[in-house]
């Protein structure tokens, strides 16, 4: 059934409640490779409950399931993450109870055989105070659902990275079982765990979650430009351009101009760019 543009644009949910504790905070950090070296004093605070720190990108999983793109009628076997944007209003706590409000902001028809892009915005608020913690803006690329007659443009503008040589690079190795760890934070799409389903979706083996790659890039920026202080990150935006296979090395190339760190990421083993148009905004 083709996408009903007016119906999808009207989709929204309000006041969904979620909670997490230190266990979920540490499990997420392990899912994006933190603690690879148990003696690394910079990464240990993200995976150890003493003086526990939460990564900013934890926000992408604490309200997993918020929203209702399932009502759009898209083919989820053919769905991949297209873009992810994060705006931090208050640093992510290591434990909290929150509410999540979700709405559709854009639906773009790329044409028959080219897919559709559905943009959703999720606002996470502290349940007790009502204060906004984080705003998430994400694009779902529905590869099998184009040609429904909707608008051919939409969504926020793309950040352009500088044309000069990068100012810094950070190479981080993923584990062969990285997707199996990461999926325990919420996204249990079998595309990332079941070889048979991955083949049906066009991949020769399960792929890493796009948001896991996103977390690895955040880890690279935290290490290179934020002294592992998550409170310094105020925004973190990416466009996903190709999948990573668990076990590969993600090399994040960074350009720093004032408070803005532009970045891209590639897989060293295949020399394939997997993240484009990355933008991290640091505090002044």
Going from the N-terminus, what domains does the chain have, and what CATH number goes with each?
Answer: 5-282 (3.10.129.10)
- Spot the catalytic one: 101, 106, 109, 187: 187
Which whole number is the average pLDDT over 87-96? Answer: 98
192 has catalytic annotation:
yes
At 9 the three-state DSSP class reads helix
Q: Which residues contact 161 (CB under 8 A, 6 or more apart)?
A: 255, 262, 263, 264, 276, 277, 278
Alpha-carbon distance of 270 to 148, in angstroms, equals: 35
Alpha-carbon distance of 72 to 58, in angstroms, equals: 26
* Residue 44 pLDDT greater than 70, yes or no: yes
When pLDDT is cut at 50, 70 and 90, the band that residue 140 belongs to is confident
CA 117 vs. chain centroid, Å, equals 16
- Spot the catalytic one: 101, 192, 209, 237: 192
145 has catalytic annotation:
no
* Residue 284 pLDDT greater than 80, yes or no: no
What pLDDT, in 10s, does the model give residues 251-265? 999 999 999 999 999
pTM: 0.94
Q: What is the pLDDT of residue 1?
A: 60
Cβ–Cβ under 8 Å, residues 263 and 214: no
Q: Which residues contact 30 (CB under 8 A, 6 or more apart)?
A: 47, 181
**Mean pLDDT across the chain:** 94
The proportion of the chain whose per-residue pLDDT surpasses 90, expressed as a percent, equals: 83
How far CA 65 is from CA of 17, 62, 143, 187, 234, in Å, comes to: 11, 9, 20, 9, 24
Which whole number is the average pLDDT over 226-241? Answer: 98
Which whole number is the average pLDDT over 195-216? Answer: 95
CA 145 vs. chain centroid, Å, equals 22
Could you give the residue ranges of the DSSP H alpha helices within 10-127?
Answer: 22-31
Which whole number is the average pLDDT over 133-162? Answer: 91
């Amino acid at each position: 059934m083709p996408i009903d543009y007016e119906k999808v644009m009207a989709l929204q949910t309000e006041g969904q409640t979620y909670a997490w504790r230190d266990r979920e905070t540490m499990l997420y950090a392990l899912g994006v490779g933190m603690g690879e070296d148990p003696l690394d004093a910079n990464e240990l605070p993200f995976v150890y409950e003493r003086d526990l720190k939460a990564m900013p990108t934890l926000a992408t999983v604490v309200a997993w399931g918020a929203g209702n793109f399932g009502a759009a009628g898209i083919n989820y076997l053919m769905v991949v993450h297209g873009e992810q944007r994060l705006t931090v209003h208050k640093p992510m706590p290591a434990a909290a109870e929150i509410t999540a409000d979700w709405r559709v902001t854009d639906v773009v028809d790329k044409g028959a055989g080219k897919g559709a892009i559905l943009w959703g915005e999720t606002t996470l608020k502290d349940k007790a105070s009502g204060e906004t913690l984080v705003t998430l803006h994400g694009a779902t690329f529905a590869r099998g659902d184009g040609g429904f007659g909707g608008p051919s443009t939409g969504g926020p503008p793309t950040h352009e990275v500088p044309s000069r040589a990068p100012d810094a690079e950070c190479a981080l190795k993923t584990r062969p079982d990285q997707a199996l760890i990461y999926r325990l934070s919420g996204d249990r799409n079998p595309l990332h765990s079941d070889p048979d389903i991955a083949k049906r979706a066009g991949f020769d083996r399960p792929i890493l979650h796009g948001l896991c790659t996103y977390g690895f890039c955040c880890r690279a920026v935290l290490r290179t430009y934020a002294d592992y202080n998550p409170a310094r990150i105020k925004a973190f935006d990416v466009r996903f351009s190709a999948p990573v296979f668990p076990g590969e090395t993600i090399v994040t190339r960074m350009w720093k101009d004032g408070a803005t760190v532009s970045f891209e990421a590639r897989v060293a083993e295949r020399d394939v760019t997997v993240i484009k148009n990355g933008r991290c905004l640091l505090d002044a």
